[in-house]
Chain A
């Protein structure tokens, strides 16, 4: 780093210093950095500023201008992405299961050139038994199900009848015996289930349709696309943990839009960044302008506790220390009763309680207090003189 910049390291954010070094001719640096520093100090936020409320306003206000348009094409049929207001609500709610999970899979060097990308994609896609079966036959006399397998499809997926049997064996171990003849599979109900008859057989058939055979669980669609100068795979359905076990996946860049999954696999810091990115993406695509700081603050309030808490009565709001603050949000009776049972004390540290009691709010100009020495007789006289 430049000599003149060094003395400002720690005083100015690294990003600014780097920017100066990049665009400023060396001769000017000393003057420029001084000016930047002056402006930086002026632009600093004041103590007591109610940044939370400003953040909430900044995200809430453009919310009225957002479209409700839920769907937005990404390529393949059945592959939609929730966008707009519903997506923002979904993220901020901290929902465990989101409506359209999606992964963007980056590939390691030799694979991202596009050769054989379809095969890689097919490895990732979850294959269920149903997709391999051409025909189901219920044999009522022998209480059997006969399945005719789709041979070309199996070949495409590099599957054989025996490997299919292997994959589904465990799941059906309690209910049926599996036999394999060429591309015919037969499931025979186990003896003890025989009494239940046709219903059991039918149930078995329905169950077998959903059996997992190959690929990554939860990934229902795959789509290779070219982005900039490399090929990536976009999926519908998300399962980062299993995906990271594959060696052709670039684990440093691959992401999902499921924030909870990121939190589990990559940790809470990554989840925070994911929340910021996801919310920002939605706001950007809506053509709105919201400063990243506001989104950061929301993401931070959601993740400070070490796990993702939604902006709901069960999440962030339930964490508040003040009984009245919680009661003023939703379900007031519940909060008051629980507080009474616990013998809670509300120390009136936050905003709403003080509004309720008509007292100064500990934010903004209500934050500083005045301290003065108790005047004794003498000093009063002095003033009067």
Chain B
């Protein structure tokens, strides 16, 4: 952004002042008598100094950034080259002196050195240049404020057209407005103030008569019927005293009004607009370079014409053209101007377009960043992994690395990795020397590197089991979307995770991909492990309940296990060992062991718990033994259910909970695979008498509805208070049909056999609901849109195959058949309507809620709890005196509360 001064006022703060002593000191130091001491001192000193050599950072910190408008003087001062020619390269392809790619503006070609700072590509950050404009030109972005200034200022004496007496009062008024409503409102108010103070179109100071100034967008001003040239505008603005400038909310030190008319244009460094070399060897210049070329070319023409004394019209035309180019250089999407285009017809991306919007510099490059040391592939489940582990394919483990500094104690250990090289696991990819040089290890160089390796070197070794990694799935909507896992290197090509952590990531395995990041410093690893590990994220900060729990088969498994499974001792031991428990002393000393006992063996032996299952029956655990009840989602499920897990967390902490959960999870799965579990279409079969009952129920409902409709047509229906008869009818029909379907549910419930596996899943809460079973085997039910029966389509009817005003269930989207029986074409169509409606709803909702989330996050991201317990924003303003009125961290509470009742009950 050449026009705005972004000066980094950096009172350079040397945060870490590390003394570097030359290794020579070692030779001088050992003048100690005792041999042992000497050795020890020697060793420590040696390694310390070497390490220091590597960690010699001087931290600079930017303390503040000042914004302002560049003065012509400043532009010249910061420029290192004056640009005079639109040519870019000479015949040899070397940048032309005084051209737009001048080497004094920085280097973008490998091999060349910058003429200003002498550094090479990537080291030189680039330097500004400038062009002297033949005639001054307006800056579009300031056109509005210039208009305001011109309107408020006398055309002769450049004083504010307000009498001195009124001035101080106006000032106070404006200051207040700015404080309350911001700078834009102030400018609006200035206009009003001046307008009201103006007396008969005359300047109160010099009595000069004023003419009306209008702006012809974007950059032309017309006074009366004459055009005001930028030269004249600039002259008027120059004469304004600083005090007057301040009234407009401008700071005359950083933004004098005349600076808004450009006499000199800064040229951004070439590093800002690098050219690309195409495969054919041709150079393709950046959009900004193109635009600057236009400006320089027209500027030269204008100079020549002025010097040659060309007629005024030609000069004016060129001047306008220059204005156009400068304007589009800053902003190529101004409504009144045709955008400057490439030869291909695609508009140029100039400065404003570069900064703006989601793909612009600010949101894309500054507020969002890319990282190294990360991986992404498809995920797949592996219940044998612990919850806080992530399975990493060997091929990825050999690409990602962890830097380890060599010292006397780990030298041998690290040498092993260097010896293996990059191609053998576990090997290493790079070695960093104490001077910061990074060397790639190859099969050829590894011997030499091995020789060279000594304390102070850093080896970037392959990932090993137990390394810290951060695992993430988009959209990262909450903090549990990025958790810390321990690496487990596995064969295969997918990232693997325990299916129990699907909930927080909202992941499934239908082709989802996830990202893995490897923190590279000790600080990062420590933070990841302490703050982000799966254990620490068990309780959601959203509602204070566990997000992680058993899912799917592990729930059905535990349900069946604790319901009525019986084992011999051998079977029980086998099952437990498969669940990852090798301590069998807690199994009762009996021949046959119940599933409940097996489950109990996983619990801590002093665990007491009273809960309820989904059916409402009590679940009682005393001294770590499940005495009564079956285990289902209400006890071990995730996402705010699993009360048993919450109780475990409360008493034994996160570590123990996650271990127990893992065991329970595996136990359920293992039991199920021994037992066998599968569901098929047979699970939706109904015995004849059930079928008959259902048919009769539906028949009855239809008859009832027909009766209601007849009643309605005879106008005998009693309307509900506040509703019309028609609405009452609709409500009654809906109610009746729903009742019929629910009655079907009761019939089905009465007829499911224990061997029905679909029912097992539903009863345990693992998957599905009774409604889905009804829909499959009996009746899909009413299709509703916005809480009403379907009524759209044709006039007075839903489909052309019905009679007009047909209010019967089948004409208004009631599907009487079940999915298994099959639905008829009309029913299918109604089903498709609601299906489409649901799809639309999701499609429309996602961007809306995404935007809401972004706004919330942006507005509140810098609120934090201070050391005094208050919640404050970045400027120290108190938002809350105590977080949430009691200072309780939701993720440490039970559902946002301290459970007094539990404490009372547990105290004796």
Contact = CB atoms under 8 A, between A and B. Distances in A.
A17 to B, nearest CB: 10
Nearest to B881: A300
Given A297-B884, A362-B874, A350 B865 contact: no
Nearest to B844: A68
Contacts of A67: 841, 845
B875 A321 contact: yes
Nearest to A329: B858
Contacts of B254: 340, 342-343
Interface stretch (B386-394, B512-520, B895-903): B895-903
A62 interface: yes
Interface string B54-75: 0000000111111111000000
Contact of A50 (B787, B864, B908): B864
B828 interface: no
Contacts of A293: 883-885, 888, 890, 896
Contacts of A367: 864
A55 B363 CA distance: 22
Contacts of A296: 880, 884-885
Contact of B845 (A85, A92, A349): A85
In terms of DSSP, what is the predominant structure of the interface of chain A? Answer: helix
Contacts of A68: 841, 844-845, 848
Contact of A31 (B4, B363, B901, B907): B907
B544 interface: yes
Interface residues of A, number: 111
A169 B484 CA distance: 74
Interface string A337-375: 111111111111111110111010011110100000000
A169 B895 CA distance: 60
B855 A54 contact: no
B363 A363 contact: no
Interface stretch (A40-48, A127-135, A202-210, A247-255): A40-48
Given A294-B542, A340-B68, A359 B62 contact: yes
A327 interface: yes
Contacts, number: 336
Contact of A348 (B62, B253, B859, B890): B62
A216 interface: no
Contacts of B867: 47
A330 to B, nearest CB: 9
Contacts of A35: 903, 907
A73 B786 CA distance: 10
Contact of A333 (B63, B141, B541): B141
B852 A291 contact: no
What range describes how many residues of B lie at the interface?
35 or more
Contacts of B1: 336
A155 interface: no
A96 interface: no
Contacts of B863: 50-53, 55, 297, 301
A347 B64 contact: yes
Interface in A34-88: 35-36, 39-40, 42-64, 66-69, 71-73, 75-77, 85-86, 88
Contacts of A328: 362-363, 366-367, 858
A39 B362 CA distance: 44
Interface stretch (B352-360, B412-420, B451-459, B660-668): B352-360
Interface of B: 1, 4-5, 41, 61-69, 141-142, 145, 182-184, 249-251, 253-255, 331, 352, 355-356, 360, 362-363, 366-367, 369, 475, 477-479, 527, 531, 541-545, 640, 722-724, 727, 786-787, 841, 844-846, 848-850, 852-867, 869, 871, 873-875, 877-880, 883-890, 892-893, 895-896, 898, 900-901, 903-904, 907-908
18 contacts: A43-B889, A47-B867, A53-B857, A54-B479, A54-B890, A56-B853, A57-B542, A68-B845, A69-B786, A86-B848, A316-B859, A324-B65, A338-B183, A340-B5, A341-B251, A348-B65, A356-B366, A363-B864
Interface of A: 13, 15-16, 19-20, 23-25, 28, 31-32, 35-36, 39-40, 42-64, 66-69, 71-73, 75-77, 85-86, 88-89, 92, 223, 289-294, 296-298, 300-301, 304, 311-312, 315-318, 320-325, 327-329, 332-333, 336-353, 355-357, 359, 362-365, 367, 384
